[in-house]
Amino acid sequence: MRKHALIDTLALTLLCMAIPERGSAQDAIDAGKTVWAGVYSAAQAEQGKSAYQASCGPCHKEDLSGYESILKGDRFMEHWREDTLLSFFTTMKSTMPRDAPGSLNESVYVDIAAFILQGNGFPSGPAPLRKDDLPGIRVQGKSGPSELPTGALAQLVGCLVKGPKGEWTLTLANPPQRTRNPSDSNPQELKLLDASPLGTRTYGLMDAIQYRPDSKEGHKVEAKGFLIRDPGNDRINLTSLQTITAGCGR
């Protein structure tokens, strides 16, 4: 993917996403609960349908197919899988309705989320969805978790290495995790990442020179950026590169 296209993708991502409240995809993985577990009630989805039609339907259409079907089917799944419902809720609350973001009651946003889940074929259950449930519910395909797709904004931990031609690489990296924040993590978040084990993967780092990599060479680092999958040459188009700790022993 060309550089200017990736910049356009970043701009679109920042326009359509809000940085979520505390809670991460890892929280949901640890909890082991997914959207296939009947996390909302049918009655709640019906309430959400009325609210959706009034506040979202004019742009997204009654069947969720508006705005290039961003709320439905493959596009919804590719955009939100391997993340929590909290990220979806926070983005919806922060950006919708377009003419009055955040103007609805939180419980109404949760009901709308239930309707959107129903519209995507996720099963209902006996109890309604609550806001407190959102961080512990993961969006994933019916067959289970998958690798992040090309274009996903990802967070990785690994060792920063300079190659013989001056290229920068993330080695001993763990699998990429979905993130909604392209910027530097705060010190508390970096401290938590310091406990993350290293992995076995390698990723090329695009435009690393912008992040003063010489001062981080050989360090355990956090890399954030857009994931580019290419057999034998997976890369990260960087948006952030920070030292977690000096040295990078296993």
Judgement on whether residues 28 and 122 belong to the same structural domain of the protein: yes
Report yes or no on 11 lying in a domain: no
Pairwise CA distance, residues 18 & 181, whole Å: 8
**Residue 236: per-residue pLDDT:** 98
Judgement on whether residues 241 and 159 belong to the same structural domain of the protein: yes
**Residue 231: per-residue pLDDT:** 87
Q: Domain of 92: which CATH number?
A: 1.10.760.10
What's this model's pTM, rounded to 2 decimal places? 0.78
Q: Which domain holds residue 106?
A: 24-139
Given 80, 107, 139, the domain boundary residue is 139
What is the phi/psi pair of residue 242, to 5°?
-130, 145
Given 139, 163, 193, the domain boundary residue is 139
Judgement on whether residues 128 and 171 belong to the same structural domain of the protein: no
**Residue 32: per-residue pLDDT:** 67
Q: How many other CB atoms are found less than 10 A from the CB of residue 16? A: 12
Pairwise CA distance, residues 145 & 34, whole Å: 10
Report yes or no on 194 lying in a domain: yes
Judgement on whether residues 218 and 187 belong to the same structural domain of the protein: yes
Q: 240: Cβ–Cβ under 8 A, 6 or more apart, which residues?
A: 182, 183, 184, 185, 211, 222, 223, 224, 225
Pairwise CA distance, residues 170 & 164, whole Å: 14
Report yes or no on 10 lying in a domain: no
Judgement on whether residues 237 and 161 belong to the same structural domain of the protein: yes
CA 31 to chain centre: 17
Given 139, 164, 179, the domain boundary residue is 139
**Residue 80: per-residue pLDDT:** 95
Q: Render pLDDT for 22-66 as a digit per residue (tens, 0 to 9).
A: 344 444 344 469 999 999 999 999 999 999 999 999 999 999 999
**Residue 250: per-residue pLDDT:** 59
Judgement on whether residues 217 and 135 belong to the same structural domain of the protein: no
CA 162 to chain centre: 28
Q: Domain of 231: which CATH number?
A: 2.40.50
Query: What is the separation, in whole angstroms, between the first and last Cα of the chain?
Result: 33
Is the previous residue joined to 97 through a cis bond, with omega within 30 degrees of 0? yes
- With a cut of 70, which residues of the chain have pLDDT below it? 1-32, 250
**Residue 178: per-residue pLDDT:** 95
Judgement on whether residues 161 and 239 belong to the same structural domain of the protein: yes
Pairwise CA distance, residues 130 & 88, whole Å: 14
How many domains does one find in the chain?
Answer: 2
Distances (CA, A) of 209 to 2, 92, 205, 247: 18, 35, 9, 20
